[in-house]
């Protein structure tokens, strides 16, 4: 099944900084639920990785590669080709991803627009065209939230380091003019909602229930009303 997807998210740093952040694949990979990097080529253009997916009692794992086919820093455009397959099944997935960066409306932030041409076979294809855009949107939102937490943590750690070491020898002047040792502050830990696997139940089944339950409730109410009206009719 082939499908075209359009998503976007905001990175809380300027475009020139966002470019470096997004190309640091090994560091930002944990921001995507279920994703992990296995290896990166010396030039950094080819990545081998895996994605774990859970749907209730069903667990799937995909392994594959992603390759940067374009890195246009001047125009802030990135293109990636990715492909993978189930490790214990016949399902496959391939994607061509085009990403562009530009300054967001909020000062000091970057808007990242992504267009994905996705082709999947096997069990995930049963999710259908109507659900995949919603699932991808929720995944991108979760990724953006985790990435924002990671960047905030990095900024906090940098600020703490600068405060803890105002002088080269690691000391600060006390009120009497004598040097007083400065206690090193621990680096901040990223407050990310890391997930060992992509919980497809949360992204697929829950949206279905949200759609179905209201319709079912309305249908039930109509059925009850019709039944009562029918009973009231004189014989």
Number of domains in the chain: 1
The two tokens of residue 212 are: 């179905």
Average pLDDT over residues 83-107: 94
- 8 Å CB contact between 139 and 198: yes
Contacts by 84-88, CB closer than 8 A, 24 or more apart: 84/50, 84/51, 86/60, 86/61, 86/62, 86/122, 87/50, 87/61, 87/62, 87/63, 88/60, 88/61
In a domain? residue 82: yes
Give one word for 108, left, alpha or beta, with left for phi > 0 and alpha for psi -120 to 50. left
Among 67-76, 86-95, 165-174, where is mean pLDDT lowest?
165-174
Q: What is the pTM of this model?
A: 0.71
Distance set, CA 118 to CA 25, 155, 164, 172, 195 (Å): 20, 35, 48, 56, 23
CA dihedral in degrees (38, 40, 41, 45; nearest 10)?
130
Q: Which of 217, 210, 199, 197 is nearest to 55 (CA)?
A: 199
The two tokens of residue 36 are: 């992990």
Q: Is the pLDDT of residue 25 over 70?
A: yes
Instruction: Please report, for the domain that includes residue 33, its CATH number.
Output: 3.30.530.20
User: How much of the chain, in percent, has pLDDT values that exceed 70?
Assistant: 65
Spatial separation of the C-alpha atoms in residues 172 and 96, rounded to whole Å? 53
Using 50, 70 and 90 to split pLDDT, how confident is the model at 201? low
Give the position of tokens 């562009």: 100
In a domain? residue 80: yes
Average pLDDT over the chain, rounded to whole?
78
Range of the domain at 83: 2-152
Res 86: pLDDT: 92
In a domain? residue 39: yes
Q: Regarding predicted confidence, which is higher, 196 or 63?
A: 63
Q: Is the pLDDT of residue 139 over 90?
A: no
User: How much of the chain, in percent, has pLDDT values that exceed 90?
Assistant: 43
Give the gyration radius of the chain's Cα atoms.
Answer: 25
Res 212: pLDDT: 45
Q: Regarding predicted confidence, which is higher, 6 or 197?
A: 6
In a domain? residue 67: yes
In a domain? residue 48: yes
Spatial separation of the C-alpha atoms in residues 202 and 208, rounded to whole Å? 10
Q: Regarding predicted confidence, which is higher, 191 or 129?
A: 129
Most confident of 26-40, 53-67, 115-129, 198-212: 26-40
In a domain? residue 138: yes
In a domain? residue 172: no
The two tokens of residue 132 are: 């995949």
Using 50, 70 and 90 to split pLDDT, how confident is the model at 161? confident
Is residue 101 exposed (0-12), middle (13-18) or buried (19+ Cβ within 10 Å)? buried
Q: Regarding predicted confidence, which is higher, 105 or 224?
A: 105
Using 50, 70 and 90 to split pLDDT, how confident is the model at 225? low
Res 111: pLDDT: 97
Q: Is the pLDDT of residue 204 over 70?
A: no
Q: Which residues of 135-164 are buried (b: 16+ CB within 10 A; e: fewer)?
A: bbbbbbebbbebbbbbbebbebbeeeeeee
């Amino acid at each position: 099944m082939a499908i075209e997807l359009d998503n976007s998210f905001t990175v809380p740093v300027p475009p020139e900084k966002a470019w470096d952040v997004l190309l640091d694949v090994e560091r930002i990979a944990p921001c995507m639920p279920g994703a992990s990097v296995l290896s990166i080529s010396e030039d950094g253009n080819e990545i081998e990785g895996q994605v774990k997916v859970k749907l209730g009692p069903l667990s799937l794992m995909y392994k594959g590669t992603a390759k940067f086919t374009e890195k246009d820093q001047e125009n802030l455009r990135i293109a990636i080709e990715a492909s993978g397959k189930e490790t214990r099944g016949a399902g496959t997935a391939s994607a061509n991803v085009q990403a562009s960066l530009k300054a967001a409306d909020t000062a000091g932030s970057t808007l990242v627009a992504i267009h994905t041409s996705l082709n999947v076979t096997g069990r995930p294809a049963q999710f259908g065209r109507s659900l995949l855009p919603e699932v991808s949107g929720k995944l991108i939102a979760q990724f953006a939230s985790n990435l924002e937490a990671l960047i905030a943590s990095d900024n906090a750690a940098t600020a703490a380091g600068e405060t803890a070491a105002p002088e080269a020898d690691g000391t600060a002047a006390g009120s009497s003019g004598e040097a007083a040792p400065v206690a090193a502050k621990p680096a901040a830990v990223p407050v990310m909602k890391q997930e060992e696997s992509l919980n497809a139940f949360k992204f697929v089944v829950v949206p279905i229930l949200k759609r179905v339950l209201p319709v079912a409730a309305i249908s039930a109410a109509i059925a009850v009303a019709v039944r009562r009206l029918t009973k009231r009719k004189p014989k």
